[in-house]
Amino acid sequence: MRIGTTQIVDTFAEAFRLRYTRVIVTAHDEHWRDAAVRAACGYGTSVLGCDAEIGVEGWLPPDETPDGRPGASILAFSFSPEGVAKAIANRTAQCLLTCPSSAVFDGLPGAADRAPLGSHVRYFGDGFEKTKVIEGRRYWRVPVMDGEFLVEETCGIEKGVGGGNFILQGTTLDGTLAAVRRAVSAIERCPGVIAPFPGGAVRSGSKVGSRYEGLRGSTNEAFSPALVGRVVTELLPGVAAAVEVVIDGTDEATVGAAMAAGIEAAVGPELLAVSAGNYGGKLGKFHFHLHRVLSPTTPG
């Protein structure tokens, strides 16, 4: 399969089951909303080393938020419900409670599984906190120095999919990075997904295991241009740089749609090929075959 001059390798991305939550963060204006989001989403790239993979699902105008202020929808993913619950509670306490004017709302009110949010943070109020139920949803008002921190008592947890991916192989670093930016920009317009790595991109694509004891993941040498000629490579001749884009989403169809959007936006004369990372089908239950992902919208 080719899109223009870019080859789409006949391979698949291997993804796996994660649990996720969605919270809606609002603030006095876009400056403070962005500050809250940057803090809450920090150090949230890979569940191999972080408490959660976390990022912005979408930016919300005031007429789409619970309190009529600028907002953002944040998705956080982890291996277990307990992992998600701990991560979002800690990030709410350390990053959102501390940000001037911020408020936090549950973005999955219909979910049966619940995680503590305001019920965790309220203790900072030292007995001065207040609670109120509005339309069946309980909120906490925690006194702080700029007024009150409003936070919903709990947030929902659902089953999601983590690790959808594709790998862009370019003739130059400049061209590859430009392709990455096009891909990520398209993914950001897709609902229900995040690309949690820096700028949506991963240059340190990994494989399972290592020669070093105790290390769960290590460099995927098959995609390293510096090792061509020393190891079996999966890079096309002439590739100078390869960068992976990883996608987490609310369900399988959502991840597949975001992969298609990202790949279609990335292709161009400087991009020799699009491949994907997998482990022979042994790591995750979700297999996104690139040709099948693209076939609904792109001729093969």
Q: List pLDDT tens digits, range 80-112.
A: 999 999 999 999 999 999 999 999 999 999 999
Mean pLDDT for 164-193 is 98
Q: Evaluate if residue 29 carries a pLDDT over 80.
A: yes
Mean pLDDT for 153-158 is 98
Share of the chain above pLDDT 90, in %: 93
Q: Evaluate if residue 122 carries a pLDDT over 50.
A: yes
Provide the H-helix boundaries in 165-297.
173-188, 252-266, 290-294
What integer pLDDT is reported at residue 121 of this predicted model?
97
CATH of region 2-15+160-294 = 3.30.70.520
The structure tokens 């973005």 sit at: 107
Q: Evaluate if residue 297 carries a pLDDT over 60.
A: no
Q: Evaluate if residue 214 carries a pLDDT over 90.
A: no
Mean pLDDT for 163-178 is 98
Higher pLDDT, 215 or 27: 27
What integer pLDDT is reported at residue 271 of this predicted model?
97
Count Cα atoms within 13 angstroms, Cβ side, for 123. Answer: 7
Higher pLDDT, 56 or 279: 56
Share of the chain above pLDDT 70, in %: 98
Q: Evaluate if residue 296 carries a pLDDT over 80.
A: no
Q: Evaluate if residue 295 carries a pLDDT over 90.
A: no
- pLDDT confidence bin for 299, thresholds 50/70/90: very low
**CA-only gyration radius of the chain, Å:** 21
Tell me if 2-15+160-294 shares its fold with 19-158: yes
- pLDDT confidence bin for 54, thresholds 50/70/90: very high
Q: Over the stretch 246-292, which tens digit does the pLDDT of each residue have?
A: 999 999 999 999 999 999 999 999 999 999 999 888 788 999 999 99
Q: Evaluate if residue 217 carries a pLDDT over 90.
A: no
Q: Evaluate if residue 36 carries a pLDDT over 60.
A: yes
pTM assigned to the model: 0.94
Tell me: domain 19-158, CATH 3.30.70.520, correct?
Answer: yes
Q: How do 6-8 and 271-275 pair as beta strands? A: parallel
Domain ranges of the chain: 2-15+160-294, 19-158
Q: Evaluate if residue 25 carries a pLDDT over 50.
A: yes
The rounded distance, in Å, linking the Cα atoms of 194 and 196 is 6
- pLDDT confidence bin for 300, thresholds 50/70/90: very low
What integer pLDDT is reported at residue 195 of this predicted model?
98
Q: How far apart are the first and last CA of the chain?
A: 5
The structure tokens 């920090």 sit at: 42
* 63 contacts: CB under 8 Å, gap ≥ 6: none
